[in-house]
Amino acid sequence: MPDLFYLVRKWWKQIAAFVVICVLLVAAVLFFKPSKYLSVATALPASSYATDKASVFNQNIQILYSAMGTPDDLDMIVGTAHLDTVYISVAKQYDLAARYKLKEQGDAAIRKAASRLRSNSKVMKSEFSELKVKVWDVDRLLAPELANAIMNKLQSIHQDLQNTNNILLIKSLQGGKEKLVTQMIDTAGAPDRSSQIGQYDKLINEYQLLVDNKTPVLITVEPARVTDWPDKPKRLPILAATVVLSLLFGLLLALLLEKRKDL
């Protein structure tokens, strides 16, 4: 097997030329690739007990539970972030089809814009059990707006899901109240149901308050902000890796050529 120093002495010009060519090619690709700015929105899960009527209207129960949720509360939200619904909504809100200068029109343009937004985004649960919404965009001013919009959309979707049960309960209570009122009106000598109707009204008002308040699912720790320096592509690390890899490949190629000579 040829000595490494011998290989370098004999083939250094060819190896150096190979490295320079590889670096120039990669640099050209990186030069024409647009810079993308990263913005990150961070939130923590709110306690799911905050949507329970008993925990809201009973002070003794309130002190038993923390306002913060558990890391498991983020799993469903991260799962929702894989749905196209989130990105289509944000794409419509910011007219991304026009911003991205897409040739398609109508729904096709919206779907393509949403797909591009999704490919430039990442929603994840961090090692510190925080929800991170990351968005990369060539427009450093637009990137934080999109990250915050995705976070807000996730908040809205799960708020609506939480309110669904309370809305159904309100309808059920309203139906029960109407039956009592009908009985009092239609049945002669029916007992007075005013106290029961009052209890129904109280429960309806309490559940309606929960629905109207839209208890938060996420507590924003840090909204996405404008960044001054691009995050992608990482030109210096890529060029450094190119130098190392092309140098190793050049040495391997020189070794193979040297072996062929000996055969």
- Residues 6+ positions from 152 with CB-CB distance below 8 Å: none
pLDDT at 171 over 60: yes
Fold of 35-159+216-230: Bacterial polysaccharide co-polymerase-like (3.30.1890)
State yes or no: cis peptide before 233, omega within 30 of 0. yes
Tokens representing 262 are: 């000996």
pLDDT at 151 over 50: yes
List the one residue out of 247, 254, 244 whose CA is nearest residue 3: 254
Tokens representing 118 are: 């999704």
Domain ranges of the chain: 1-33+233-263, 35-159+216-230
d(CA 45, CA 43): 7
pLDDT at 241 over 60: yes
Instruction: Read off the pTM.
Output: 0.74
**pLDDT tens digits, residue range 98-116?**
999 998 888 999 999 999 9
**pLDDT tens digits, residue range 3-48?**
677 777 888 888 899 999 999 999 998 888 899 999 999 999 987 6
Other CB atoms within a 10 A radius of the CB of residue 68 amount to 12
**pLDDT tens digits, residue range 39-84?**
999 999 987 655 555 554 455 444 445 556 677 888 989 999 999 9
Which residue do the tokens 């799960």 mark? 158
* Residue pair 45/155 in contact by the 8 Å Cβ criterion: no
